[in-house]
Chains A and B, each alone.
Chain A
Amino acid sequence: MNGASPPRDGKIPVNLLTGFLGSGKTTLLRELLEDPRLKQTAVLINEFGEVGLDHHLLERIDENVVLLNSGCVCCTVRGELVDALIDLDTRRAKGLIPGFDRVVIETTGLADPFPALSTLRAHPVLVNHFSLDKVVVTIDAVNGEAQLRDRLEAVRQLAAADVVAITKTDLCGADAVARLRRKLAAINPSAVTILREQAEAAHLLGGASVSPDVADAFVDAGLEGPGHRHEGESRHHHHHASGGSTVTSFSVIVEERLDWTAFGIWLTMLLNRHGDRIFRVKGILNVGGEERPIAIHGVQRLVHPPFHMKAWPDDADRRSKLVFIVEGLDPAVIKHSLRVFNDLSDRLLPRTGDNSLQPLGGIEGGDALAQTGG
Chain B
Amino acid sequence: MCALCGVLGADDHWTSAIARPGVYTRNGDAAMRRREAANRLKIANALLRTRRLDLREWQGGTYILSNATGATRVFQSLAHMWPEAEAMVSSGFDPLDADFLRKIEEIAR
Where the two chains meet, the residues of A that have a C-beta atom closer than 8 Å to any C-beta of B are 122, 124, 127, 211-212, 260-262, 264-266, 268-270, 272-274, 287, 290, 294, 296, 298, 303-308, 329-330, 333-334, 336-337, 340-341, 343-349, 353-355
Contact = CB atoms under 8 A, between A and B. Distances in A.
Given A340-B105, A344-B108, A294 B43 contact: no
A265 B47 contact: yes
B82 A340 contact: no
Nearest to B98: A333
A344 B26 contact: no
A306 B39 CA distance: 19
Interface string B2-24: 00000001001111011000111
A272 B82 contact: yes
Given A305-B23, A307-B22, A343-B108, A262 B14 contact: no
B6 to A, nearest CB: 16
Contacts of A355: 35, 39
B68 interface: no
A261 B54 CA distance: 18
A305 B14 contact: yes
28 contacts: A260-B15, A261-B15, A261-B40, A261-B43, A262-B43, A264-B40, A265-B43, A269-B47, A269-B93, A272-B86, A273-B96, A290-B24, A305-B18, A305-B25, A306-B24, A307-B23, A337-B96, A340-B101, A340-B104, A341-B95, A344-B46, A344-B104, A344-B108, A345-B39, A349-B39, A349-B42, A354-B35, A355-B35
A170 B51 CA distance: 58
B89 interface: no
| Residue among B17, B93, B95 with most chain A CB within 10 A | B95
Given A306-B24, A307-B23, A348 B43 contact: yes
A122 B14 CA distance: 11
A213 B86 CA distance: 39
Interface of B: 9, 12-15, 17-18, 22-26, 32, 35-36, 39-40, 42-44, 46-47, 78-79, 81-83, 86, 92-96, 101, 104-105, 107-109
Nearest to B79: A268
A287 B15 CA distance: 13
Contact of A273 (B23, B93, B105): B93
A124 B9 contact: yes
Given A347-B107, A353-B35, 7 more contacts: A124-B9, A269-B47, A269-B93, A269-B95, A273-B92, A304-B14, A306-B23
A269 B9 contact: no
Nearest to B18: A305
A372 B8 CA distance: 40
Nearest to B102: A340
A124 to B, nearest CB: 7
A346 B108 contact: yes
Contacts of B32: 354
